[in-house]
Homo-oligomer: A and B are copies of this chain.
Amino acid sequence: MHVHSAAIVGASGYAGLELTRLLARHPRVRITALYSDRWSGEKASARLPLDGPAGELAYLSLAEAEGAGAEIVFLATPAEVSAALAPKLLAKGARVVDLSGAFRLADARAYPPWYGFEHPAPALLAEARYGLPELAREALHGATLVTNPGCYATAIALALAPLLRSGLVRADGVAVTGMSGVSGAGRKAAEDYSFVEVSEDVRAYRLGKHQHVPEIEQTVARYAGACGPISFTPVLVPIRRGILATATLRLDGKASAADLAAALQAAYASEPFVRALPADRVMVKDVVHTNRCHVGVAVDARAGAAVAVSAIDNLVKGAAGQAVQAMNAAMGWPETAGLDLLGG
């Protein structure tokens, strides 16, 4: 079995670390380079427990990433950095999996308002394949540029898409609250994320402005045919990792709880990483450290509403695990390759 070389750029961030752990154990991949300015020069095994040759690698500086010779390059870098780096790597023939939002939106004009920069390589937007296999698997096969979905976007799209597709709920007036653990903010020496400021606190942020919104709408619309503007309120909760999202939808007609649960069940019956459960059995603790997403839906007939609940680990199914799953799909490998080691 041919083993492919892989590199990780931005290997010291939380997602980069998670990727390193996963790829170090992947049966079809061998890590050949790790890039990180903060740990430049250090041996990887000094930073995380790695068996095998991956531990012997020394981190290289980000500036050297352009010269990455690996067959598959994972970018765990900020969107602007990825937007500049990906074209160079693709030009050299590498396959790129980007964990940032740099290639998620189809319309380049969405980048200034949502991401705060002008897209330097808009032509690549059409080439990029959205790395959410459960909803966009076929397009991923053979992809050379995989854009890894945002964490909130993953949790929310996986819950909404089958429900909207079912026609049992309306595509307009969707209201979502996304509760995320702190690692979603990235590795930060910022006081707002210090233990003293976060523990025992709950607060909403970036209300109505989160960049995962256009991504969710675009993805759900592709899968379900339509998706109205979504009101999304992110909330920071004092856990290290994990996301629970609650989405309130308006029933279209008299759908029962059973109908809606069946829609989720049917959509994911054969999926190794998504499981449909009763809405009050969807819990962050059941999915952390795994590549799984648990989804559920409850009906409040009185209010004419359905509430979908979704849970993932923001660093795994919301980042590194999904990146590996999407790479597997792009390479034509079993999607579970290197991911069935993640325990419950």
Residues in B with CB closer than 8 Å to A283 are 201-203
Interface residue? A290 (CB, 8 A):
yes
Q: State in angstroms the CA–CA spacing of A233 and B307 once bound together.
A: 8
Interface residue? A298 (CB, 8 A):
yes
Residues in B with CB closer than 8 Å to A191 are 187-189
Interface-side segment among A129-137, A204-212, A327-335: A204-212
**A21 engages B179 (CB within 8 Å):** no
The 11 listed contacts between A and B (C-beta, < 8 Å) are A177-B177, A177-B246, A200-B240, A200-B285, A201-B284, A201-B285, A208-B307, A230-B303, A231-B300, A233-B307, A341-B343
Interface residue? A237 (CB, 8 A):
yes
**A199 engages B230 (CB within 8 Å):** no
Bitwise interface map of A from 167 to 200 toward B, beta carbon under 8 Å scored 1, else 0: 0000001010101011100011111011111111
Interface residue? A242 (CB, 8 A):
yes
Q: State in angstroms the CA–CA spacing of A142 and B309 once bound together.
A: 45
Count residues of A near B (Cβ-Cβ below 8 Å).
Answer: 77
Q: State in angstroms the CA–CA spacing of A1 and B89 once bound together.
A: 45
What distance in Å separates the Cβ of A336 from its nearest Cβ neighbour in chain B?
Answer: 10
Residues in B with CB closer than 8 Å to A341 are 341, 343
Q: State in angstroms the CA–CA spacing of A72 and B211 once bound together.
A: 51
Given contacts A177-B177, A200-B285, 14 further A-B contacts (CB under 8 A): A21-B343, A173-B173, A177-B233, A179-B235, A182-B196, A187-B191, A187-B194, A195-B195, A199-B238, A203-B244, A229-B303, A230-B303, A231-B303, A235-B244
**B292 engages A207 (CB within 8 Å):** no
Interface residue? A58 (CB, 8 A):
no
**A248 engages B233 (CB within 8 Å):** yes
Interface residues of A (CB under 8 A from B): 14, 21, 25, 48-51, 173, 175, 177, 179, 181-183, 187-191, 193-208, 228-231, 233, 235, 237-242, 244, 246, 248, 250, 279-280, 282-286, 288-290, 292, 298-300, 302-305, 307, 309, 311, 340-344
Chain B, Cβ-Cβ closest to A184: B196
This chain: how many copies in the complex?
4
Q: State in angstroms the CA–CA spacing of A21 and B290 once bound together.
A: 13
What distance in Å separates the Cβ of A19 from its nearest Cβ neighbour in chain B?
Answer: 12
Residues in B with CB closer than 8 Å to A177 are 177, 233, 246, 248
Chain B, Cβ-Cβ closest to A300: B208
**B239 engages A203 (CB within 8 Å):** no
Q: State in angstroms the CA–CA spacing of A29 and B204 once bound together.
A: 38
Chain B, Cβ-Cβ closest to A17: B344
**B279 engages A239 (CB within 8 Å):** no
Chain B, Cβ-Cβ closest to A20: B344
**A207 engages B298 (CB within 8 Å):** yes
**A233 engages B246 (CB within 8 Å):** yes
**B175 engages A305 (CB within 8 Å):** yes
**B282 engages A204 (CB within 8 Å):** yes
**B280 engages A207 (CB within 8 Å):** yes
What distance in Å separates the Cβ of A342 from its nearest Cβ neighbour in chain B?
Answer: 8
Chain B, Cβ-Cβ closest to A244: B202
